[in-house]
Amino acid sequence: MKSCFMLALLLLAPLAHAEIYKSIDPDGQITYSSVPTKGAKKMNLGIPPKPPVHARNNPTPHNFPKIDSATQKSRDQARNNILQNELTSEIELLGESRQQLTDSIANPEFYVNKDGKAMPDPARHADKIKSLQRRITLHEHNIEALQAELPKPR
């Protein structure tokens, strides 16, 4: 079985350009990984790494469509407007979600029992709080991603 795995590894190695590490645990179990771990040894498979491809080595074909700078600026501005609108929307949704969380914390969930009495429902309340916290985190991540895509003010 081990020899089949090694044969497959050696045959697939030219397709993958990751370094391969071999480790043996105290029980004698052999593990191969592309991530170095404590005690693992890097295997030399005798395959030279593929050199990186640089843009300057791949010139634009002569028949590649080109656009003028005014058209590109117009497209960039349209993209920025869309991103800015999305950012504004996410900021508003974040504010609404934070307000909902504040309101939910102040007003716990209740249920009506058989006697018609309102009783606290801590499990449902905790689920609602977690859901709102996840929503807030999602909006915060969306805002960060949109801000990273927008050009920095000069």
pLDDT in tens, 74-99: 999 999 999 999 999 999 999 999 99
| CA 99 vs CA 4, 88, 127, 136: distances in Å | 60, 17, 17, 10
- Is the same domain home to 17 and 81? no
Q: Is residue 36 part of a domain?
A: yes
- Is the same domain home to 141 and 74? yes
Q: Is residue 118 part of a domain?
A: yes
User: Which residue ranges in the chain fall short of pLDDT 70?
Assistant: 1-18, 46-56, 154
Q: Quick one: pLDDT at residue 138?
A: 95
Q: Domain count of the chain?
A: 2
What residues are paired with 9 via a beta bridge?
none
pTM for the predicted model, two decimal places: 0.55
- Is the same domain home to 75 and 38? no
Q: Quick one: pLDDT at residue 54?
A: 65
Q: Quick one: pLDDT at residue 111?
A: 85
Cα(70)–Cα(84) distance, integer angstroms: 21
- Is the same domain home to 144 and 75? yes
Amino acid at 108: P
- Is the same domain home to 23 and 91? no
Q: Is residue 30 part of a domain?
A: yes
- Of all helices (H) and strands (E), which one includes residue 60? none
- Is the same domain home to 15 and 86? no
Token reading at 69: 């700078």
Which range marks the domain in which residue 7 is found?
2-43
Q: Is residue 139 part of a domain?
A: yes
**pLDDT per position as a tens digit, 97-119:** 999 999 999 998 888 888 888 88
- Is the same domain home to 95 and 136? yes
